[in-house]
Structure 1
């Protein structure tokens, strides 16, 4: 299918990437934790999701934020499903305390569909 790549924003032929792979792939599917990437961003380029730890970590953070927000999970509930925490305390604080006001909202903002990444 053609569409906009989640990472680079180019209009390309897309491939589905499971944010949490391996043994966690079925859970990624179940909770909609997939993104559509062009072949370069998915597996070909040195900065691709399958070849760059930095890109994989960014996607893991996005996936955890999405899962915790949509499922209304605590950090512990997320870890029970995906085995590890990927977010720092400020990012988790923003998810677990959405009704509290905090001046530095940008401290826990993550990538959203269509955003241009800094690499």
Structure 2
């Protein structure tokens, strides 16, 4: 199994928000086309979430698909712009700006 890491936490076995031990590992940027999943793994934009908080998971709530999703995307974009490149670089890799 691939060893994932996260800018959010070192504990990939417990939900970042609740501490629950049943988690799905969410790639913050996802979708068709490009290498978004690969880039998420490269930059640490992966986070363990309880299934109902996983924005694109089967059990996702409306709160997860809106509030949680936007919070995670904005946090990752801020991290990228502070450590890795410009907003233009971010948009070229992940498709759009969330700030």
Which position in structure 2 is the counterpart of 1:18? 27
- Counting matched residue pairs gives 81
What TM-score do the two structures reach when normalised by structure 1? 0.58
Which position in structure 1 is the counterpart of 2:68? 55
- Preserved CA contact (<8 Å) 1:33 1:67: no
Measure, in 1, the Cα distance between the counterparts of 2:40 and 2:73: 11
What TM-score do the two structures reach when normalised by structure 2? 0.68
Runs of 4+ in 1 over 4 A off after TM superposition: none
Alignment of 1:1-119 (within 5 A): 2-3=13-14, 5-6=15-16, 8-22=17-31, 23=33, 24-42=36-54, 43=57, 44-46=59-61, 47-48=63-64, 52-71=65-84, 73-87=85-99
Structure 1 portions without partners, runs of 5+: 88-119
- Preserved CA contact (<8 Å) 2:24 2:51: yes
Pick the structure with greater CA Rg. 1
Q: How far is 1:17 from its partner?
A: 0.2
